[in-house]
Structure 1
Amino acid sequence: MEIIQMSMKLAIGFLFLFVFISILGKKLIDQFTPFHFISAIVLSELLGNAIYEERVPILHIFVAILIWGGLLSFLDYIGQKSLFLRKLFEGKPSMVIRNGQVDYQQLKKCRMNINQLQSLLRQSEIFSIREVSFAFIEPNGSISVLKKAKYQKTTLQDFNLPAFTIYLPITLISDGKLIKENLEEINKDIHWLNDQLLSKGIDKFENVLFAEWLEDDGMMIIPYRLM
């Protein structure tokens, strides 16, 4: 009897979750905000505990999912009507790159460092910060990027141009720390790097948030500073 009862609970739970996800699926999957993340965890706990607890009748599973689904639907509805509640429930994007400059304060608010920002950019097929004009960290943790005009996607065929060599950008300084192996990889030394920094009015690499070398475009330096 216990196996039959558990099987019935699983079947009913699956059915109601299927209906629930069909209604709010886009919110729970495509726009997975902190609010929806917590909602999904609580819903899974409600269902899991109800299925494996023998004293919980099948009716309670139905009521729990119905009430929780109803609350989520109601909050989603009032979130559509109120801009304040929408920002409260879903959060708002953080501009971490503004006019080509990394906003270090916004980066810290997102609990991110420069390496994590680079990783997100690479996942968007952007291998250098210098290509970015504006970048936003969305509430679900993804990144949205607007490239600078000269880095907008075109093809060589558009202009009948010959192919050319593509160089990989090399990070030399990250969060005020020198990456010596990368400096050696481009056959440069600390004296050369100091000269590059001095040309930008920076006396030591500890004052640099990020520095990158690109063979055909030179050095890009982002100092620590308030935006």
Structure 2
Amino acid sequence: MFTMILIKLLIGFVGLWMIALVLGRNEIGQLTPLDFFSSIMLSEIVGNTLYDDQVKFTHLIYALAIWAILAYSMEKLTIRSAKVLQITEGRASLLVDEGIVNQQLLRASSLNFKDLTTMMRERDVFSFHVVETVIYETNGSISVIKKPGFENVQILSIPVIDDGEILTEAFRGRKISEALIRELAEKQGFMDVKQIAYAELKGSDDLWIIPLN
């Protein structure tokens, strides 16, 4: 039994390694839904056969070979067909266009403003004030284009309202008065913060608001 487990382990390791070589390191490094599904299926193929005495190592070789053919064929098909590529990998989403946040696309992408601002900060962008375009890529990352004139400008804004809720201390170490937030919102005609999807404060009195829609 132990010998059979060893043989299956070696075959599984070599088989998965060879499939990774066929697909390419670039594909393994940028997981798409199809890649993720493939990794789950491959682990199931190896795992379910590893400790089952009734499944011989020849069955494992056969299963890995079939899956490798399927994965390789799908990879070639996505290269040849744009429609298949959209189905298997999805499409990039324009979350911010001309400085306007598409809240419907944001929700459809299972993101909220906290997620988006966190990813923006990872791209060294700390305020919606300077953002012209944000593209949500199929690999889960974002691409950001700043507004003209702000390419080399860094502005830090503090989130103070998210989904109609006031955030008095979104960043630890910087507390902002709730009364000030309400006052600044009212000056722009928002008597109820529930009407605001997101707002951030630049400096002491510059409140940038995205209305809820």
TM-score (norm 2): 0.89
Share of identical aligned residues, percent? 30
Structure 2 contact 166–178 (Cα < 8 Å) conserved: no
CA contact (8 A) 1:27 1:36 kept: no
- Which structure 2 residues correspond to residues 3-82 of structure 1 after superposition, within 5 A? 3-26=2-25, 28-82=27-81
Distance 1:218 1:186, change over 3 A: farther
1:147 Cα deviation after fit: 1.7
What is the aligned counterpart of 1:173 among 138, 150, 161?
Answer: 161
**Which residue among 169, 191, 207 is the counterpart of 1:219?**
207
Query: Paired residue for 1:132?
Result: 131
1:106 to partner: Cα distance: 0.5
3-state DSSP class of the match of 1:219? Answer: strand
Indicate the RMSD between aligned Cα atoms, in angstroms: 2.4
The answer to whether the Cα contact below 8 Å between 2:92 and 2:136 also exists between their aligned partners in 1 is yes
Q: How many pairs does the alignment contain?
A: 212
1:117 is aligned to 116
Contact 2:160 2:199 in 1 (8 A): yes
**How far off is 1:195 after superposition?**
4.1
Matches for 1:71-110 after TM superposition, within 5 Å: 71-110=70-109
Shift of the alpha carbon at 1:31? 2.4
Query: Partner residue of 1:158?
Result: none
1:114-133 CA-partner distances (Å, limit 9, x unpaired): 11111111222222222221
Report the alpha carbon displacement of residue 187 of structure 1 after superposing the two structures with TM: 5.6
- Partner secondary structure for residue 150 of structure 1: coil
Q: State the alpha-carbon separation in 2 of the partners of residues 130 and 63 from structure 1.
A: 57
Matches of 2:53 and 2:27, distance apart in 1 = 29
Counterpart position of 1:149: 148
Q: Secondary structure at the match of 1:145?
A: strand
Q: Structure 1, residues 172-195: CA drift from partner, whole Å, max 9, x if none?
A: 11111111346xx566452x4344
Match of 1:210, SS state, is strand
Residues 131-153 of structure 1: CA deviation (Å, up to 9, x unaligned): 22111222222111112222213
Tell me how far apart the structure 1 counterparts of residues 191 and 143 of structure 2 sit (CA, whole Å): 34
Instruction: Give how far 1:57 is off.
Output: 0.9
Return the alpha-carbon distance in structure 2 between the equivalents of residues 142 and 177 of structure 1: 27
Call closer, same or farther: CA 1:3–1:219 in 2, change over 3 Å.
same
SS at the partner of 1:209?
A: strand
* Partner SS state of residue 24, structure 2: helix
By how many angstroms is 1:4 displaced? 1.5
CA distance in 1, matches of 2:46, 2:64: 8
Letter aligned with residue 92 of structure 1: R
Q: Distance in 1 between matches of 2:15 and 2:118?
A: 38
Structure 2: 5+ residue runs without aligned partners? none
